[in-house]
Amino acid sequence: MAEEYDVCVIGTGAGGGVMIDQLTAAGFRVVALERGGRVGPLDFDDDELKNVIRDQVFSPHQLETYRFDAESESVTGRFSHLAHCVGGTITHWAAWSWRFQPDDFEVLSKEGPLAGANLADWPISYEDMEPFYTKAEQDFGVAGDNTLNPFAAPQKTPLPNPRHPERVSAKKFAAGARKLGYHPFPVPKAINSRPYGGRPRCMYGGACRAYGCPVHAKATTLSVSLPRAERTKKLDLRIDAMVYELPVDDRGRVTGARYLDSQGNAHEVRARHTIVSAGAIGTPQLLLLSKSNRFPDGLANGSGQVGRNLTFHHHPSVIGVFDEDLRTYTGFESHAAFDDLHASDSERGFIRGGVVAELNTFTHQPIAYSAVLAGDQPFGASWGAGLKDRIRAFPRTLTLALIGEEMPMEENGVDLDPEVKDRFGLPVPRVTKRQHDNDLAMYDWYEKKLLEVAEAAGAKHVASGRNPELHISKTQAQKGNAHNHGTARMGVDPSKSVLDKWCRSHEVPNLWVVDGSFMPTTAGYNPTLTILANAYRVADHFVREAKKGAL
């Protein structure tokens, strides 16, 4: 019989990485299974063609299918913005580090039911999460000044690092926002504004989102959690380990995991507890692959909710072209935001909302800007002299966007594609995703507001971005996003949720899920700080219960 570990963690990203760190620190022996390989600062450059356009660095084997709804044909490709590597998708995050608002934890109670949406309350409150937000902010060195944001969620401990310099584009954005009576502030970022945690200060190289940090100034599980865990000698980290089944014993408990190595050879590890953190696309794929006599519809899926309620964020965006160089190719993705328009107000024709920010997602380097943004603008053209004018406007182009809360819908989700297989012959995840009417109303409303801000900021040309990758309508949804949530919800009622308030399966007592899958609703904020904080919360509970002998 193979050695039995205390804990098997599947995935080394935001959720899994924190669990690995916290549990090894508490003395547990952990085996971690990561489907990707090792990457590090020496692999991280800012070659736009390699990193963004060809996407060759992080997920060379990622494959999925997408369809709009159950009646649509599916297309095969790589739509979710993931990183399959040691450190997971947080390796190339943009480090936005929001706390959700207290009302984001009780959307159903606050709003009441919404037709066509599967709203839910979280089984925990903001107060339950607050100390763990602090823990995550401290460990990941969040820089900023939330006292400048009158709408910030209440926090007992200030951010550990001071704000970053204000990029020229952020100054323009802030001036426009102030003119309209809004309250711009520096986006809290888990990027060092001074040496912190043994990591250096940011070098403001411009290419941040979708890139690995070459100096580890960006806090990730690769730069913060995993090195610490490896020093404990309690961690057995196995790379190129594609988990394809979580076997169960006759008592219905998970015994560990079965995985394929890069050559396709099968291996099995045994552990007393299994913690899944394969992302909100990969986790339902794995649970649905793990069928058994006891769990014929997939592991922990008695509720039928595994893989349902998938949400992203939607992103109306606009551009404003100025006369001067906005330095968008410096710094990191987003330097400024305002949150005045976030609070839910059904008078606007939709519920919920989002945070508005200035960002260089398509203006940090010129290829994506020129190939995608340039095509559908009133100013310029997709080729010829008009394209050249647009290329010349590259450093003078301000981009604004919303992080818009999407409504969860039961029919949006992840299941196993019936035809398309990956390189090992495993069914790839199939994403089914369309937009709720609330999303479309929110998108249109904010797009108008963003145009007002760009105009108030003094832009000479203002236009909606309408990037084909991001635009949504009655007939078009986003095929993929970096923000994936909801496919293994936590909740109080086992018939309506997959996990309990501790992110432990209602049905399988030694199975836990800690990636974005757990979120019943998404809030209008980037999710990662909440995934990190939740993992600290779950780890704290795990350690306390284990010490009591209750696990």
Partner 1 sequence: MSDHDERQAGLDRRAFLQRGGLYGAGLLVALNLPRPDAARAASESTKPVVLTEAEWATLEAATARIIPTDHEPGAKEANCVNFIDKALANEDAAAVPLYKGGLAGLDGVAKARHAKAFAALDPAEQDAILRDLEKGQAPEWALGEQLPSTMFFETLRVHTIVGFLADPSYGGNADFAGWRVAGYPGPRHRRGGFTPEQVEGKAPVVPIWER
Question: Which parts of this chain interact with partner 1 (CB under 8 A)?
Answer: 44-49, 53-56, 60-63, 75-78, 164-168, 171, 202-207, 211, 214, 325, 327, 329-331, 365-367, 370-372, 375-376, 382-385, 387-388, 391-392, 394-396, 466, 468-469, 471, 473, 475-476
Tokens 């323009």 locate to 172
In whole angstroms, what is the distance from residue 96 CA to residue 163 CA? Answer: 13
Q: Which is nearer to partner 1, 263 or 293 (CB)?
A: 263
Question: Which residue type, as a one-letter code, is found at position 495?
Answer: S
Task: Tell me whether strands 4-10 and 30-33 are parallel, antiparallel or unpaired.
Answer: parallel
357 neighbors 336 (Cβ within 8 angstroms): yes
User: Shortest distance, CB of residue 29 to partner 1, whole angstroms?
Assistant: 36
User: Shortest distance, CB of residue 143 to partner 1, whole angstroms?
Assistant: 12
User: Shortest distance, CB of residue 33 to partner 1, whole angstroms?
Assistant: 22
User: Shortest distance, CB of residue 288 to partner 1, whole angstroms?
Assistant: 22
Q: Which is nearer to partner 1, 169 or 534 (CB)?
A: 169
In whole angstroms, what is the distance from residue 421 CA to residue 329 CA? Answer: 39
Q: Which is nearer to partner 1, 64 or 245 (CB)?
A: 64
Helix axes 437-456, 168-179, angle to 10 degrees: 100
Taking the alpha carbons at both ends of the chain, their separation in whole angstroms is: 22
Q: Which is nearer to partner 1, 67 or 308 (CB)?
A: 67
Q: Which neighbouring-strand residues pair with 317? A: 401
Task: Tell me whether strands 397-405 and 354-358 are parallel, antiparallel or unpaired.
Answer: antiparallel
> How far is C-alpha 437 from the chain's CA centre?
23
Cβ neighbour number for residue 444 with a 10 Å cutoff? 15
In whole angstroms, what is the distance from residue 144 CA to residue 35 CA? Answer: 34
User: Shortest distance, CB of residue 469 to partner 1, whole angstroms?
Assistant: 6
Q: Which is nearer to partner 1, 29 or 390 (CB)?
A: 390
Q: Which is nearer to partner 1, 101 or 397 (CB)?
A: 397
Close Cβ partners of 42 (under 8 Å, ≥ 6 residues apart): none
Question: Which residue type, as a one-letter code, is found at position 281?
Answer: I
Listed in order, strand segments (DSSP E) in 38-109 are: 64-67, 75-77
Q: Which is nearer to partner 1, 73 or 250 (CB)?
A: 73
Structure tokens at 35: 């489907």
Cβ neighbour number for residue 116 with a 10 Å cutoff? 12
Structure tokens at 86: 């040691």
Q: Which is nearer to partner 1, 43 or 127 (CB)?
A: 43
User: Shortest distance, CB of residue 131 to partner 1, whole angstroms?
Assistant: 33
User: Shortest distance, CB of residue 529 to partner 1, whole angstroms?
Assistant: 23
Q: Which is nearer to partner 1, 220 or 534 (CB)?
A: 220
408 neighbors 486 (Cβ within 8 angstroms): yes
Q: In the 8-state DSSP scheme, what is residue 427?
A: E
Cβ neighbour number for residue 371 with a 10 Å cutoff? 13
User: Shortest distance, CB of residue 327 to partner 1, whole angstroms?
Assistant: 6
User: Shortest distance, CB of residue 371 to partner 1, whole angstroms?
Assistant: 5
Alpha helix positions (H), 26-97: 48
Q: Which is nearer to partner 1, 346 or 473 (CB)?
A: 473
User: Shortest distance, CB of residue 214 to partner 1, whole angstroms?
Assistant: 5
